[in-house]
Amino acid sequence: MTNPTLATIAERFSCRGYEDKKIEIEKLTAIARAGLQSPSAKNLQPWRIIVIKDKEVVDKIDAAATSRINANLPAGQEPRKNIFFDAPAVFLILKDTNAQSNWVDIDCGIVTQNIALAAHSMGVDNVIVAMASHAFLSDEAEALKKRLDWPAGFDFGMAVACGYGNTKKEPHEIDWDKMSFV
Ligand SMILES: Cc1cc2nc3c(=O)[nH]c(=O)nc-3n(C[C@H](O)[C@H](O)[C@H](O)COP(=O)(O)O)c2cc1C
CA distance linking residue 164 with residue 45, whole number of Å: 29
Atom 15 of ligand 1: nearest residue by CA position: 128
CA distance linking residue 12 with residue 117, whole number of Å: 7
Domain assignment present for residue 92? The answer is yes
pLDDT band at 78 (very low <50, low <70, confident <90, very high): very high
Domain count, the chain: 1
Our mutation pick for probing the ligand 1 site, out of 106, 108, 129, 162, counting the most ligand atoms within 8 A of Cβ, is: 129
* Contact criterion met (CB below 8 Å) for 164 and 122: no
* Contact criterion met (CB below 8 Å) for 89 and 23: yes
Nearest residue to 52 via CA among 115, 138, 99: 115
What are the pocket residues of ligand 1 if the criterion is a CB atom closer than 6 Å to any ligand atom?
13-14, 16, 127-131, 171-172
Domain assignment present for residue 180? The answer is no
pLDDT at res. 158:
99
**4-35, pLDDT tens digit by residue?**
999 999 999 999 999 999 999 999 999 999 99
From the CA of 128, how far away is ligand 1's center (Å)?
Answer: 5
In the chain, what's the furthest Cα-to-Cα distance?
53
Q: What percent of the chain has pLDDT over 70?
A: 100
Domain assignment present for residue 178? The answer is no
**119-136, pLDDT tens digit by residue?**
999 999 999 999 999 999
**124-182, pLDDT tens digit by residue?**
999 999 999 999 999 999 999 999 999 999 999 999 999 999 999 999 999 999 999 99
pLDDT at res. 69:
98
Domain assignment present for residue 1? The answer is no
* Contact criterion met (CB below 8 Å) for 94 and 48: yes
pLDDT at res. 110:
99
CATH number at residue 123: 3.40.109.10
pLDDT at res. 119:
98
**93-113, pLDDT tens digit by residue?**
999 999 999 999 999 999 999
Domain assignment present for residue 136? The answer is yes
Ligand 1 atom closest to Cα of residue 14: 26
Residue 20 has, within 13 A of its CA and on its CB side, a CA count of: 2
Q: What 3-state class would DSSP assign to 47? A: strand
Ligand 1 atom closest to Cα of residue 170: 26
Q: List all residues 6 or more positions away from 167 whose beta carbon is below 8 Å from its beta carbon.
A: 15, 16, 17
Domain range enclosing 56? 10-72+79-163
Q: List all residues 6 or more positions away from 130 whose beta carbon is below 8 Å from its beta carbon.
A: 158, 159
Residue type, 166: N
Cα-to-chain-centroid distance, residue 14 = 11
Atom 1 of ligand 1: nearest residue by CA position: 130
- Which ranges constitute the DSSP H helices of the chain? 4-11, 25-36, 55-71, 104-121, 141-148
pLDDT at res. 56:
98
Prediction pTM value: 0.98
**29-65, pLDDT tens digit by residue?**
999 999 999 999 999 999 999 999 999 999 999 999 9
Domain assignment present for residue 57? The answer is yes
Q: What 3-state class would DSSP assign to 92? A: strand
